[in-house]
């Protein structure tokens, strides 16, 4: 599982020109799920996201977590995070999980993050063509791959 976490002042996702999810301060999280991801990956990654200290404290030091700033999460599935670009110029997506595997894991991630943050998540729609807008704050962008825990 790969997550691209962006600290934002605002973010939204639209489908057919209608806003599906929208947040102010918080994290815009793009989530890529691969065929061998597990519940253990969800537990570990959701803990990392919920507790990541990248918001500024009173000394302007990145020391506060999402809950400390009452931030929200906008979670969007993105299979292209598992693109293989080793051959040619057209990426391959063999490592991206098929919907029968990815959808249940995506839904479990939503529940895990809601449980850890105590807040309702805003989301995109799995498999839909979406337009994502955001204002990256900092900019701060963190990439986490559950296959590189150690």
Check if the beta carbon of residue 9 is closer than 8 Å to that of residue 140. no
24 CB-near residues (< 8 Å, 6+ apart): 9, 10, 72
Catalytic residue (one of 9, 38, 80, 115)? 80
127 CB-near residues (< 8 Å, 6+ apart): 77, 99
146 catalytic per annotation: no
**What tokens were used for 24?**
């102010």
Catalytic residue (one of 27, 79, 117, 122)? 79
78 catalytic per annotation: yes
115 catalytic per annotation: no
Catalytic residue (one of 6, 34, 55, 78)? 78
Which positions are annotated as active-site residues?
78-80
């Amino acid at each position: 599982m790969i997550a691209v976490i962006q600290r934002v002042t605002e973010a939204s996702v639209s489908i057919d020109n209608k806003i599906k999810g929208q947040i102010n301060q918080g994290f815009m999280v793009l989530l890529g799920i691969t065929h061998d991801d597990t519940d253990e990956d969800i537990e570990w990654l959701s803990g990392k996201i919920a507790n990541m200290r990248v918001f500024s404290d009173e000394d302007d030091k990145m020391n506060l977590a999402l809950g400390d700033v009452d931030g929200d999460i906008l979670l969007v599935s993105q299979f292209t995070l598992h693109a293989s670009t080793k051959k040619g110029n057209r990426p391959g997506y063999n490592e991206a999980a098929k919907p029968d595997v990815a959808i249940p894991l995506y839904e479990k991630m939503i529940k895990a993050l809601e449980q850890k943050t105590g807040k309702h998540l805003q989301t995109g729609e799995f498999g839909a063509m979406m337009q994502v807008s955001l204002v990256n704050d900092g900019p701060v962008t963190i990439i986490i791959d559950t296959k590189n825990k150690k």
